[in-house]
Chains A and B, each alone.
Chain A
Amino acid sequence: MDGAITSRGLLRVLTCGSVDDGKSTLIGRLLYDCQLIMEDTLAAIARDSRKHGTVGEEVDLALLVDGLEAERQQGITIDVAYRFFTTPRRSFIVADCPGHEQYTRNMATGASNSELAIILVDARKGLLTQTRRHSYICSLLGIRHVVLAVNKIDLVHFDQQVFDRIVGEYATFAAGLGFHSMVPIPTSGRFGDNVTQRSGNTPWYRGPTLLEHLEAVEVEEELTKIPFRFPVQWVNRPNQDFRGFSGTVASGAVALGESVVVAASGVTSHISRILGPDGDQERAVAGEAVTICLADEVDVARGDVLAPVSDRPAVADQFAAHLLWMDEEPMLPGRQYMMRIGNVWTTASVTAIKHRVDVSTLDQQSATRLALNEIGLCNLATAQRVAMDPYSQNRLTGAFILVDRFTNRTAGCGMINFPLRRATNVHHEHFLVDKAARAASLGQKPMLLWFTGLSGSGKSTVAKLVEQALHQAGRHTYSLDGDNLRHGLNRDLGFTDQDRVENIRRVGEVAKLMVDAGLIVLASFISPFRAERQMVREMLAEGEFVEIFVDTPIEVCMQRDVKGLYAKAKRGEIANFTGVTSPYQRPEAAELVLDGAGPPAEALAQQVLALVERRQAGG
């Protein structure tokens, strides 16, 4: 493979279409006709064709690219598979993407790493919901070049009218999607028409074959022409004499002697040395993995972004972004997730869903949550200020992923639209009298006693006894109770999952202010989700949050049913009732677990008081 051969460089291609559009067959045909299939592989495929194949005695080319056992048996592709091939004119990486409706997330994955998409349409069926869905996702993820492969053209007798009608419909639909090129080609993966060879069956078609187009299309990325961005990945400090910042240049270029700024801190320096894979070099451009040394001893760590002084990224902790949800567990506003942007990990939550996008019609709808495969325009807030660019300007510094904090699954991906101005102008006020001063004047350590458990578990009863005893002992206390707050601060909230999350967030913020005021706060809330209890824990300083799990079996709670709520829930008069129609996630590491079915409430209160006194004494 000499230089001239791959002068056009690498093209990353995504294929997408509905089940049975014949994607795998089309790719298999491409590989086969380019004579890139090895003899032993072909022999294995011929053997498999008799067992799994769907085309009788012919060799089933789809089997070349379908990989995993289970999906082979189901006859569908369920994941992203990568194929590599090289022709005399170009190298290709083909991401084979699923057409199955619920696998939007895999398509987004393929699209995030691709420059061109082949969108397959079955000539017999025309445009389907998934065709629109996949086109929109390609557009959202920044793909600007599309091939519309009107496949199985043999099954409509190579009819030009069918082709023209599908192309016309697609052009109308795709007009607003921002594609720079859209090339329609009539193909048959099974028989090879217009894949690598011009077909005699479509004399009316005068455009390129699929391969000709892929070899010729210009997708030259503009990455080197936009401002320099260098997310620091690793600080290389082998000895006292060398301190370099390793990473991959996300965009733009930089040369020795040029000034750069550490985006978040605003500290500037200039480039004193650039080490590439082969040693010292004078410049570094987008895509290169290098180690950069600065002339001054400035504070730089993994996650920092180096940028030109005159052209900096935004640094913000609030921004608007399109979010594509990829997890079975829906996205709830207010819930915290781990977010990765560049090389930074921080916590983030959605503060508002402006609208959800119906990916079939592109209509905007109101929404209170995002379920698997749904896309919404959202406002997000992060725990720390991070460097960012709009995704439309920079695909690498404008993208992020959200990760579930408990399962570590990649739960969502986002494309930043713009930072929110208010974030950059609102600063925390610092006062001379602080929490420590207030606590000292009250003569106590402020803390939050968080009682969690099912309705009727005895949370409030125990909390009342505890507060009474603390008060008698001269402590300064305050009680926050679910029912009371729902009459005031939280009266706009219901009992859906997303409202429960918001309810706890507000309670957490109020409790935090009261702890800040120096009080011992008692909060009794069902607070059924682990994530939100964790959220409140993290709002407070280390050791201030004391989780008390009142562990009472649901049968006992139902039997007590002080407020008659379980009876109503069982009659279906209350929706989303914890323990009946809505889940309760048991704490895994509570500071105290009380057996709510055994000892009397007074004994349980004594256990809590003992813990409080230990903490007050410094234990």
Chain B
Amino acid sequence: MLPQKTGALSPHLRRLEAEAIGIIRETAASFRNPVLLYSIGKDSSVVLHLAMKAFAPGRIPFPLLHIATGWDFRDMLEFRDRRAAEIGARLIVHTNPDGLARGINPLTHGSQVHMNVMGTEALKQALDAHGFDAALGGARRDEEKARAKERVFSHRAPGHVWEPRGQRPELWGLYNTRIAPGETMRVFPISNWTEFDVWDYIAAENIPVVPLYFAAERPIVRRGGALIMRDDERMPLEPGEQPEMMWVRFRTMGDWPLTGAHESRAQTLEEVLEELRRSRVSERHGRLIDNDQEASMERKKREGYF
């Protein structure tokens, strides 16, 4: 069931909501076997909420897919299972078995290898195994420069390859959804939303999100300028390192060793919105994986990263 609304939407959010619902319906109508990529973060929580609205009073006519890397925050996994049960959605969880067997992890292999094997490769495996021909995701154009040029319906050649020069022009919302066998589409219904729009909408619609987005006292280790929450014992402490309890929150969700927290006392949605209004650093600042190399996002997208 949809949560009870807490506020009226601004005309701006209404317009974004209608656009996203239209895109989600278009995906269901145009593809044989679509899937919703559910990363448990705030953006995919919004997409999930919009999908419920798009097909009400019916149910969402496609399953949810979560790529679990083995390093997700425990809070995220609990939240995921609770939400899927509440909604009554079909949830598929996939972890790359080869990566698991080889013991790939972010601590010894580094963020690049880990994300490539446990994230990108795992996603491709799952899409292929289930024969999904369209995958809905929560990426937004304001996140990063390479995203700013992404299409709403983003065509992938066989092997899930993204070719920035081969993308189709999108006019008037007349999306070209035609694909040949072996090709797939990635679909981004909230392309035109900003981080602020997402939080504004979450607040107005009372959408449940992972508690990690709100400030609490958490065990924090300082590593390379980032505040890392030690979510379990797998991360060895360096000599002299001692987790300290700090008031922090997270701006993005990801694997816990790769996701930096920031000091915050914002415990409610209103306080989070207020913090964002004052913020002078961008959203992806806390993501350790994006700073690997210049233009790293574009490279990852070409390889099939969502």
Are A and B genuine complex partners? yes
Q: Of the candidates B10, B145, B285, which one forms a contact with A3 in the assembled complex, judged by CB atoms under 8 Å apart? A: B10
| A234–B295 touching, CB < 8 Å | no
Binding stretch for chain A, among B53-61, B117-125, B127-135, B227-235: B53-61
Query: What per-residue 1/0 map shows which CB atoms of B264-306 lie under 8 Å from chain A?
Result: 0000000000000001111001000000001100110000000
* A272 CB–B CB distance under 8 Å: no
Report the separation of the CA atoms of residues A395 and B174 in the bound assembly, to the nearest whole angstrom.
11
| B280–A39 touching, CB < 8 Å | yes
Q: Of the candidates A72, A302, A410, which one forms a contact with B176 in the assembled complex, judged by CB atoms under 8 Å apart? A: A410
> A247: which B residues are within 8 A, CB to CB?
22, 25
> B299: which A residues are within 8 A, CB to CB?
69
Binding stretch for chain B, among A80-88, A195-203, A541-549, A550-558: A80-88
Report the separation of the CA atoms of residues A48 and B169 in the bound assembly, to the nearest whole angstrom.
29
Query: What per-residue 1/0 map shows which CB atoms of A104-122 lie under 8 Å from chain B?
Result: 0110110011000000000
| B170–A1 touching, CB < 8 Å | no
* A618 CB–B CB distance under 8 Å: no
* B245 CB–A CB distance under 8 Å: no
> B176: which A residues are within 8 A, CB to CB?
340, 401, 403, 408, 410
* B196 CB–A CB distance under 8 Å: yes
* A9 CB–B CB distance under 8 Å: yes
> B295: which A residues are within 8 A, CB to CB?
68-69, 72
Q: Which of A65-91 contact B (CB under 8 A)?
A: 65-70, 72, 78-84, 86, 91
Binding stretch for chain A, among B11-19, B40-48, B63-71, B73-81: B11-19
Q: Of the candidates A38, A65, A234, A248, which one forms a contact with B282 in the assembled complex, judged by CB atoms under 8 Å apart? A: A38
Report the separation of the CA atoms of residues A66 and B145 in the bound assembly, to the nearest whole angstrom.
7
* B90 CB–A CB distance under 8 Å: no
| B11–A1 touching, CB < 8 Å | no
Report the separation of the CA atoms of residues A269 and B59 in the bound assembly, to the nearest whole angstrom.
27
Q: Which of A93-143 contact B (CB under 8 A)?
A: 93, 105-106, 108-109, 112-113
Report the separation of the CA atoms of residues A456 and B268 in the bound assembly, to the nearest whole angstrom.
80
> A39: which B residues are within 8 A, CB to CB?
280-281
* B114 CB–A CB distance under 8 Å: no
Query: What per-residue 1/0 map shows which CB atoms of A211-245 lie under 8 Å from chain B?
Result: 00000000000000000000001101110001000
Chain A contact surface mostly = mixed
Q: In the complex where A10-B15, A69-B298, A289-B21 touch, is A79 in contact with B164 (Cβ < 8 A)? A: yes
Of all chain B residues, the one with the shortest Cβ separation from A396 is B172
**How far is the CB of B237 from the nearest CB of chain A, in Å?**
28
**How far is the CB of A283 from the nearest CB of chain B, in Å?**
14
**How far is the CB of A114 from the nearest CB of chain B, in Å?**
11
> B89: which A residues are within 8 A, CB to CB?
none
Report the separation of the CA atoms of residues A81 and B170 in the bound assembly, to the nearest whole angstrom.
12
> A278: which B residues are within 8 A, CB to CB?
5
Report the separation of the CA atoms of residues A410 and B280 in the bound assembly, to the nearest whole angstrom.
40
> B141: which A residues are within 8 A, CB to CB?
82, 84
Report the separation of the CA atoms of residues A42 and B179 in the bound assembly, to the nearest whole angstrom.
39
Q: Of the candidates B12, B18, B281, which one forms a contact with A248 in the assembled complex, judged by CB atoms under 8 Å apart? A: B18
Q: In the complex where A1-B200, A400-B174, A409-B168 touch, is A238 in contact with B57 (Cβ < 8 A)? A: yes
> A66: which B residues are within 8 A, CB to CB?
145
| B172–A233 touching, CB < 8 Å | no
Query: What per-residue 1/0 map shows which CB atoms of B1-37 lie under 8 Å from chain A?
Result: 0000100101110110111011001101100000000
Q: In the complex where A3-B10, A10-B12, A48-B294 touch, is A106 in contact with B18 (Cβ < 8 A)? A: no
Q: In the complex where A108-B169, A109-B169, A410-B168 touch, is A236 in contact with B58 (Cβ < 8 A)? A: yes
Of all chain B residues, the one with the shortest Cβ separation from A51 is B294
Query: What per-residue 1/0 map shows which CB atoms of B152-168 lie under 8 Å from chain A?
Result: 00000000000011011
> B15: which A residues are within 8 A, CB to CB?
9-10, 287
> A106: which B residues are within 8 A, CB to CB?
169
Query: What per-residue 1/0 map shows which CB atoms of A243-260 lie under 8 Å from chain B?
Result: 000111000000000000
> B93: which A residues are within 8 A, CB to CB?
none
Of all chain B residues, the one with the shortest Cβ separation from A67 is B145
Of all chain A residues, the one with the shortest Cβ separation from B8 is A3
| A9–B18 touching, CB < 8 Å | no
Q: Of the candidates A10, A277, A403, which one forms a contact with B18 in the assembled complex, judged by CB atoms under 8 Å apart? A: A277
* B222 CB–A CB distance under 8 Å: no
**How far is the CB of A299 from the nearest CB of chain B, in Å?**
17
| B149–A79 touching, CB < 8 Å | yes
Q: Of the candidates B11, B165, B178, which one forms a contact with A403 in the assembled complex, judged by CB atoms under 8 Å apart? A: B178
Query: What per-residue 1/0 map shows which CB atoms of B175-195 lie under 8 Å from chain A?
Result: 010111000000000011010
**How far is the CB of B115 from the nearest CB of chain A, in Å?**
19
* B148 CB–A CB distance under 8 Å: yes
> A72: which B residues are within 8 A, CB to CB?
295
Q: Which of B210-256 contact A (CB under 8 A)?
A: none
| A275–B169 touching, CB < 8 Å | no
Report the separation of the CA atoms of residues A68 and B56 in the bound assembly, to the nearest whole angstrom.
39
* B85 CB–A CB distance under 8 Å: no
With most chain A CB atoms within 10 A of its CB, the pick from B145, B169, B196, B282 is B169
* A501 CB–B CB distance under 8 Å: no
* A167 CB–B CB distance under 8 Å: no
**How far is the CB of A615 from the nearest CB of chain B, in Å?**
27
Q: In the complex where A10-B12, A81-B149 touch, is A238 in contact with B172 (Cβ < 8 A)? A: no
| B29–A84 touching, CB < 8 Å | no
> A296: which B residues are within 8 A, CB to CB?
none
> B101: which A residues are within 8 A, CB to CB?
none
Q: Of the candidates A1, A69, A233, A277, which one forms a contact with B12 in the assembled complex, judged by CB atoms under 8 Å apart? A: A1
| B285–A234 touching, CB < 8 Å | no
| B18–A287 touching, CB < 8 Å | yes
| A238–B12 touching, CB < 8 Å | no
> A588: which B residues are within 8 A, CB to CB?
none
Query: What per-residue 1/0 map shows which CB atoms of A283-298 lie under 8 Å from chain B?
Result: 0000111010000000
> A345: which B residues are within 8 A, CB to CB?
178
Report the separation of the CA atoms of residues A105 and B148 in the bound assembly, to the nearest whole angstrom.
18
* A6 CB–B CB distance under 8 Å: yes
**How far is the CB of A7 from the nearest CB of chain B, in Å?**
8
Q: Of the candidates B18, B169, B294, which one forms a contact with A289 in the assembled complex, judged by CB atoms under 8 Å apart? A: B18
* A338 CB–B CB distance under 8 Å: yes
Report the separation of the CA atoms of residues A395 and B172 in the bound assembly, to the nearest whole angstrom.
8
Report the separation of the CA atoms of residues A546 and B145 in the bound assembly, to the nearest whole angstrom.
52
With most chain B CB atoms within 10 A of its CB, the pick from A39, A106, A234 is A234
Report the separation of the CA atoms of residues A467 and B123 in the bound assembly, to the nearest whole angstrom.
57
Report the separation of the CA atoms of residues A409 and B170 in the bound assembly, to the nearest whole angstrom.
11
Q: Of the candidates B28, B142, B164, B285, which one forms a contact with A68 in the assembled complex, judged by CB atoms under 8 Å apart? A: B164
Of all chain B residues, the one with the shortest Cβ separation from A406 is B180
* B146 CB–A CB distance under 8 Å: yes
> B191: which A residues are within 8 A, CB to CB?
82
Q: What are 24 A-B contacts defined by CB distance under 8 Å?
A: A1-B12, A6-B12, A10-B11, A38-B282, A38-B285, A65-B145, A68-B295, A72-B295, A80-B169, A81-B149, A84-B192, A109-B169, A112-B172, A233-B29, A238-B58, A238-B59, A246-B54, A275-B56, A275-B57, A288-B18, A341-B174, A343-B29, A408-B180, A413-B169
9 A-B pairs closest in CB distance: A238-B58, A38-B282, A112-B171, A289-B21, A67-B145, A109-B169, A289-B18, A81-B148, A69-B295
Contact residues of B with A, CB < 8 Å? 5, 8, 10-12, 14-15, 17-19, 21-22, 25-26, 28-29, 53-59, 141-142, 145-146, 148-149, 164-165, 167-174, 176, 178-180, 191-192, 194, 196, 200, 279-282, 285, 294-295, 298-299
Contact residues of A with B, CB < 8 Å? 1-3, 6, 9-10, 38-41, 48, 65-70, 72, 78-84, 86, 91, 93, 105-106, 108-109, 112-113, 233-234, 236-238, 242, 246-248, 275, 277-278, 287-289, 291, 302, 326, 338, 340-341, 343, 345, 395-396, 399-401, 403, 408-410, 413
Sample of 4 more A-B contacts, CB < 8 Å, known A109-B171, A247-B22, A343-B29: A278-B5, A289-B22, A291-B56, A413-B171
